[in-house]
A and B are shown apart, each in its own frame.
Chain A
Amino acid sequence: MADALMVQPDHAFIREVIRDSGGELKKCFQCATCSSVCAHSTEVRPFPRKQMLEAQWGMGNRLLGDPAIWLCHDCGDCTARCPRGARPSAVMDAIRLAVIKRIAFPRFMGSVASNLGGAVLLFIFSALLLLSIAVLPLGGSFARPLIYGEMFPKARLEPMFYVVGVYVAMALLVGMMRLVRALRATGVQGAILPALLPALIEITLHRRFASCGSGQIRRWGHLLVFSAFLGLAVMGTAVGVGSMLGLIDTPLPMLHPLKVFANLCALVLAVGAAILVWVRWADQEKRAGSSFGDWYFLVLLGGVGFTGILTEAVRMGQNLDWMFTIYFIHLCLVLTLFLSTPYSKFAHFLYRTIAMAAAWQESQSPARGQAVAGGPDVALPEGPGLPHVI
């Protein structure tokens, strides 16, 4: 043992991963069935067998810089085949959540999205922030017809979201830098920038989901949520900037192309989130291995889409109480979503992209998936040697 490895177990990390993955981590006996059934695990970087061991041993720092945890798309093929019921896919999921927490900026925000208390606090904080800035002192107009943009004065609401937006972007940027540093520390050398485009194309087309063995419906759920979210983000920013510059007058008429597009996105988002919730709920193993962070992500996402549609619906009714309350809840959820983006599963959109780009070169190696005959290092008894290479 030339290079002996001194393991200093990070006990908190072990406990966290065990809790968030359904409690069976230590059942793993390293048979490596998981790595061989996984469609994404490559010859040079097989997973999740090694990650199971590192999680058991509490090697949090090593996992922090391991791109493989992001290459996994949580399809559950490994969990279905695991002879021990150790739920490797849930463990990978729990490791990702733990990593998001550990690279959070500022650090104390790391755990807001991983437990109910933190989530409730964040929601209350969002509500208070909205109340103090956009609602109180009452400056909005409740003249008929009721218009959201006048009930919650745009002049205060919009700048607040810009400030929050800048904060979120900063937190993500710092998190990203921490992730890159951790990746480099474990020896991942792939240039990230040039690989971003191919990685993004692969992500957009959901190619990896397509090659996962189980749960094609999950691919569609994710694709719907992903596209709708992207559509709404672009739309929302465009309308916000447009209205600030005085180019767009909200609310847009129902048949305005931007309005139609936004409504479509909201619907698709709600449907996609419902599919993902259903997949997690229907799959016993997945449900058992789901943590608070998994549900938080899906429920918040679906909640934003659902209350968004409701907001629009009650506008038609023009009831002051309902319009005010529902729009307020919708705004609270959107703000909570914004604020928890760097600390929840949401952050995977950025971190997965970065890790996929960093590992792009090696994952494209020609050896991937190629069957090689025999092996170079077989000890055979004295004789004429291997006569035939298949």
Chain B
Amino acid sequence: MANFDAENGAGGAILVVGGGIAGVSCAIEAAEAGCPVILVEKSAYLGGHVAGFHRYFPKLCPPPCGLEIDFKRVQNNPRVAVYTLAELESISGTPGHYEATIRIAPRHVTGACTLCGACAQVCPVEIPDPFNCGMSRTKAIRLAHRMAFPAQYFIERGACASGCDLCMHACRYKAIDLEQKETKKVLHVASAVFATGWAPYDAAKIDNLGFGKYPNVITNVMLERMVSVDGPTGGKILRPSDGAAPRSIAFVQCAGSRDQNHLPYCSGVCCTASLKQATYLRDRYPEAKISLFYIDLRTPGRLEDFAARTIAANGVELIKGKVGKVVEQADSRDLEVTAEDVLDGKKMTRLYDLVVLAVGMVPQTGSLPAGMSLDDFGFAASSGPGLYAAGCVKRPAEVAVSIRDATGMALKAMQNVASRANHG
């Protein structure tokens, strides 16, 4: 989709690293203001975590709707070049004059792909689907997800059986090229924005909460996939152990957050996200018992109203007290959840069918340039001149805040382009 010559361009372009909601927003805002943009994304599709979400808060509308609009804008704008399966290898230079090298992994599927799916049908390799947090199986050759953009299959070559070329023979459109090699490109850009995003905290590290040991302990990110119609359960929220409908659900807030043994900071979105997820459960299970264990309910600003409304309308029981222990009952695989209710000073152990850990955000700083410093919590601290961070790599944020930040960073990056034009 490189609609302009990024490699040998005039150098007045912006490099955006990371194609999640922040990166896409930054790229399209700059491009629509007339600035050439090169967007580099390491996975096979744009949209990042947001592509896997079921609803935004507080409006509770579906993310694919907004993403679709953004993708259309990207597609129609000749000033955006998108590289997927691509990573930044190095960047050096000064504001207005950077040289960046990107490494593009082979997709093995060309633009001739029509999404017919014949290749995936014959593919003999089944692997856990990363898009569904491993809750379902997928093939080595696949479309990352139903809404994937670019709408083009790719092969996870590392998963292929040695010597297998079944997909190539199954493809009527000759869109499969198993011989593709990794390529490198050297880009000349005026500035770069790093929107490398976040990853959910590895809940298995919180060994007292049972994730990874007990199948009915899941994370908030997994629940988000479960409830999506294209998710592993076709939109149903079911207990992983037996596929039963949960009759009681506990949300465990601050699972690994505000904790010096894990993430010392508050991610700021998980409380509202859990309340949002409580609405999913209430919609499907009008009679289920929903409890939310918290330290402090942090739903700042206008989200306070969303929280109050959601709690009242969905019968969410709030228990002030962090969960210290989750133990599985051997036969039923129900979960004993232990906490102290700080407000009445009594300790309780309750049984739940399903436990949802509200895990926080870990900034993905691996591809930040060496000069960009990190704050005490490991988020990108410095911004500019020339190199900027945007979105959740800079601070944990909800989608709307990330978009606003990315838009602002588009402006900062464009200032470098402008000053280059003015001063050479």
Residues of A within 8 A of B (CB): 29-37, 41-44, 46, 49-50, 81, 83-85, 369-375, 377-381, 383-388, 390
Tell me the nearest residue of chain B to A378, going by C-beta: B317
Residue of B nearest to A381 (CB): B315
Distance in Å from the Cβ of A22 to the closest Cβ of chain B? Answer: 14
The answer to whether A371 and B261 touch across the interface, beta carbons within 8 angstroms, is: no
Q: Flag if B324 contacts A37 (CB, 8 Å).
A: yes
| Closest CB in chain B relative to A45 CB, distance in Å | 8
- Is B69 interfacial (CB 8 A cutoff)? no
CB nearest to A44 among chain B residues = B346
Determine the chain B residues whose CB is within 8 A of the CB of A83 once the complex forms. Answer: 254, 258-262, 322
Q: What are 27 pairs between A and B in contact, CB < 8 Å?
A: A32-B320, A32-B324, A33-B322, A36-B321, A36-B325, A36-B340, A37-B208, A37-B338, A43-B346, A44-B346, A46-B340, A46-B347, A81-B324, A83-B261, A84-B260, A371-B351, A373-B351, A374-B289, A375-B291, A378-B315, A378-B317, A380-B287, A381-B282, A381-B286, A385-B287, A387-B287, A390-B247
Which residues of chain B have C-beta atoms less than 8 A from A387's C-beta?
A: 247, 287
Tell me, in angstroms, the Cα distance from A374 to B325 when the chains sit together.
17
Given A81-B324, A387-B287, A31-B261 contact (CB < 8 Å)? no
Are A390 and B351 CB-contacts (below 8 A) given A50-B345, A83-B261?
Answer: yes
Quick check: is B323 within 8 A (CB to CB) of the other chain? Answer: yes
Greatest chain A CB density within 10 A among B254, B315, B322, B329 is at B322
Tell me the bound Cα distance from A385 to B287 in angstroms: 6
A32-B339, A36-B325, A43-B347 known; 10 other A-B pairs, CB under 8 Å? A32-B320, A36-B347, A37-B338, A49-B340, A371-B349, A374-B351, A379-B317, A386-B287, A386-B289, A390-B332
Which of chain A's residues has its CB closest to B248's CB? A374
**Separation in Å of the B421 CB from the closest CB of chain A?**
51
Q: Are B351 and A383 in contact (CB under 8 A)?
A: no
Total contacting residues, chain B, CB less than 8 A: 41
Query: By the criterion CB–CB under 8 Å, are A375 and B321 in contact?
Result: no
Q: B258 contacts which chain A residues (CB < 8 A)?
A: 29, 31, 83
Complex Cα–Cα for A378 and B314 (A)? 11
Of all chain A residues, the one with the shortest Cβ separation from B260 is: A85
Q: Chain B residues near A41: list those with CB within 8 A.
A: 340, 347
Give the shortest distance, in Å, between A387 (CB) and chain B (any CB): 6
CB closest residue in chain A, given B339:
A36
Q: Is the CB of B287 within 8 A of A46?
A: no
Tell me whether A31 and B295 are in contact in the complex, defined as CB-CB below 8 angstroms, given that A36-B325, A46-B346, A374-B248 are known contacts.
Answer: yes
Assess the B336–A36 pair: CB atoms within 8 A: no
Please judge, given known A-B contacts A32-B324, A387-B287, whether A372 and B208 are in contact too, CB under 8 Å.
no
Residue of A nearest to B329 (CB): A371
Asked whether A46 and B345 contact (CB < 8 A) given A81-B261, A375-B317, A379-B317, the answer is yes
A386 to B291, CA, bound (A): 14
| A35, B340: Cβ atoms closer than 8 Å | yes
* C-alpha gap A44/B349 in the complex (Å): 12
Asked if B350 is at the interface (CB within 8 A of a chain A CB), the reply is yes
B314 touches A381 (CB 8 A): yes
Taking CB atoms, residues of chain B closer than 8 Å to A375 are 289, 291, 317, 348, 350
* Chain B residues whose C-beta falls within 8 Å of the C-beta of A369 in the assembled complex: 349
- How far apart are B419's CB and chain A's nearest CB, in angstroms? 46
Contacts of B166 on A, CB cut-off 8 Å? none
Task: Scan residues 307-357 of chain B and give those whose CB is less than 8 A from a CB of chain A.
Answer: 313-315, 317, 320-325, 329, 332, 334, 336, 338-340, 342, 345-351, 353
Bound form: Cα–Cα A373–B332 in Å: 13
In contact, A370 and B342 (Cβ under 8 angstroms): no
Are A372 and B350 within 8 A (Cβ)?
yes
Contact B339 A390 (CB under 8 A): no
* Listed residue (B254, B314, B338) with the most chain A CB atoms within 10 angstroms of its CB: B338
